[in-house]
Chain A
Amino acid sequence: MSPYTIDGSDGQQLDETEETSQEWLDELVVLSFRENRRGGDPIAHTADGRAVFPDKFQGGDEILPGEHWICSVSQKGESTFFAAPVKRLDMELIAGLPDEERKRLAQIVAEDYPEAIDEQLQEFVPFGDGSSDLRRERDDLRERLLEINDQYDEALSRLSETEAELARWKKEKEAASGEDVEQKEAPEPVHAPDRDERFPVVREDGDVLYCEGFVDGHYHGHVSPNHRTLFFKSYGRGPLPCRDNRIEVPGLSDILPEDVEELEARYDPRHGGFFVEIPRG
């Protein structure tokens, strides 16, 4: 807050404020002015209940009872507050807002202060006979939502218990058998001998490779940048389908010399796939 001493518009010092500095509060506030029961200027109250009077030296003369204003508030002494009007909040202001801001304003009022507009809505919007049905349906849905939330919490609780029971069961089983339960439950790879194994590969129809080691399903295929090595690994969602031990390799004709018909595949358990070396053309 910055100290501020009021000077009159005519440049003369004002008697009332000669000895009291006036401090402006940091934020603008919205004030609703009403008639002062004791007479005189209209009066408004801040959110914490303090009375605020129009600051006549800052345009406060414009404020009338029943009006709402965005004001800059200043404090003089301990308990005296004055409002310098900045902008009147009225229909003209709202009507002049861009569509987006008006919609947002309506949304805030509808969501946060429904009671403020409910009465007016009922007065101006003619609800049909269906309105009571809609309200009933809304209430039913709210109840249903609460029920579902309860069921969800209960299900989570049951799931937690079941998981704990399963973990306990696994632990007991592991202890009983002396084996790693997780390992036993791991799915078996399609083709996974534990050592290197070699298979003959026959090239068919240009881009098709036949190998006894290939099993039906899908494969990932890789080629080295120098086009001398191919690698095939079984994978359920791989892009290369395998049927009857045959994999069609797109573009194989471009990297495999035409006269090469027989190759060899080496299954490498470390990589879980087949390496196929391509001879130089």
Chain B
Amino acid sequence: MIFIDLGGLSRSLEDRVQQGCRIDWFRLAKHLTGARRLHGAYVFDRAPGVEPGNPKRRFHDHLRYSGFKVIVRPDRVEDRLSPGELAVTFATELLSAAEKDRFDVAVLVTLDRGLMPAIERLGQEGKIVEIAGLAGELNPGLRRVADRVHHIDDLPVLEILPSFSTTNGHGYAEHRSEDHSAPLEREADA
């Protein structure tokens, strides 16, 4: 099962996403899954604005259509020391899925060091936890508690667009990328 902090990786790749490229989250999930069977892919992101036609909302719908379970939360923090609602939701869903024994291996695409206690807990429960991120940005604490580390730098996850296409710089596709006729969970069943 894959858990993606969408905002975190988008920010990491922001300066690498060039004109004419955009992050293909579906392809990322496929690469991270490899030869294993994928039981589900969660995406966590900040809640989009309420205005009609918000591109982020359309982007979330696109992800849902591709088979992701998209969870959005307002990412407000009451004070500097408390974790945001989004981070807490991430940890809650992770532990909840583990408790229901919905996965053997969890691949976390995140930079959030605050997940360390949850990861350690999963380890005690016999679950395998893998961390994915850009090599230079992975948190040392997460590296230490994870069973395996994936370097996204090596994975072909940036979709090449014709030169006239543009991206908004956050990986939020303005147009649908690969039209995945088979949703994620089924197609990744390899």
Contacts and interface: CB of A to CB of B under 8 A. Distances in A.
Contact of B157 (A225, A250, A251, A275): A225
Contacts of B165: 239
Q: How extensive is the interface on chain A, given as a class?
A: 20 to 34
A37 interface: no
Nearest to B28: A222
B47 interface: no
Interface residues of B, number: 29
B124 to A, nearest CB: 32
Interface in A217-258: 220-226, 228-231, 233, 235, 237-240, 249-251
B20 interface: yes
B106 to A, nearest CB: 21
Nearest to A233: B178
Which of B30, B156, B157 is packed against the most chain A CB atoms within 10 Å?
B156
A270 interface: yes
B152 interface: yes
A275 B156 contact: yes
Contact of B160 (A226, A229, A249, A270): A249
Contacts of B27: 222, 231
Contacts of B160: 221-223, 239-240, 249-251
Interface string A254-269: 0000000000000000
24 contacts: A220-B159, A220-B178, A222-B24, A223-B158, A223-B160, A224-B157, A225-B13, A225-B153, A225-B155, A225-B157, A226-B154, A229-B156, A230-B156, A231-B156, A238-B178, A239-B161, A240-B160, A249-B160, A250-B161, A251-B18, A251-B160, A270-B190, A271-B30, A275-B156
Given A223-B156, A225-B134, A250-B161, 10 more contacts: A220-B177, A223-B21, A223-B158, A225-B16, A228-B154, A229-B154, A250-B163, A251-B20, A251-B163, A275-B156
Interface of A: 220-226, 228-231, 233, 235, 237-240, 249-251, 270-271, 275
